[in-house]
Amino acid sequence: MDSRKVVYLFFTTLLVGSISGAIVGFILEYHVYTEGSFLNLVFGVIWLLGICAAFSLVSQMGFFAYLTIHRFGLGLFKSLKLWNYVQIIIIAFVVFDLIYFRYIAFAKQDETILNYMVMPLLLLGYGLVVAYLKAKDTNKGAFIPALFFIVVVTAIEWVPALTVNDPKWLWLYLTPLITANTWQVLILHRLTKKA
């Protein structure tokens, strides 16, 4: 992959993440950005674009970190099949942790664990869809790495919002992460394909 493609990946990911996050952020607090003067709206949108661009930069760091870890895992386990089993176990632990530890940390007296299952299971379902699309576009060996990246790496990148447990920040932080991660997973093989 040449430098032109790396620059393309960087800026398109930044754009996809910041615009998607800004749209969701605007929808979540529509009244805050539309009340008052026109400048309130302009500065609000600029702030949303900026904060979501920062989140998409976190996504890009996670992507390149995962590419390194994936190569390291292949070298350590000497087999794609064994490395895939390890990734599946880590995916299961992360989904369990997203449910259980958030429940332990934030549940109120009358809340059940079901409330804390929704977002992790949605993330897992979304990861399965993205992994299926990646495997369909490339080969079936790409399914587990794509699922691992979407679920595990996104969850790690999402930790600052998870510790706050504010629904607005959960969605505002997740949206640029998930869209940028999806974009990177689904575009990489097109950029690295030989002409």
Give residue 107's Cα distance to chain centre: 24
Say which residues have a Cβ less than 8 Å from residue 64's Cβ, sequence separation at least 6. none
pLDDT digits (tens, 9 = 90+) for 19-56: 999 999 999 998 888 888 889 889 999 999 999 999 99
Q: Which two tokens stand for residue 6?
A: 């790396």
Q: Measure the N-to-C terminal CA separation of the chain; round to a whole number of Å.
A: 11
Residues spanned by the domain of 142:
3-192
pLDDT digits (tens, 9 = 90+) for 120-154: 999 999 999 999 999 999 999 999 999 999 999 99
Domain count of the fold of the chain: 1
pLDDT at 62 over 80: yes
Q: Which two tokens stand for residue 174?
A: 């997740």
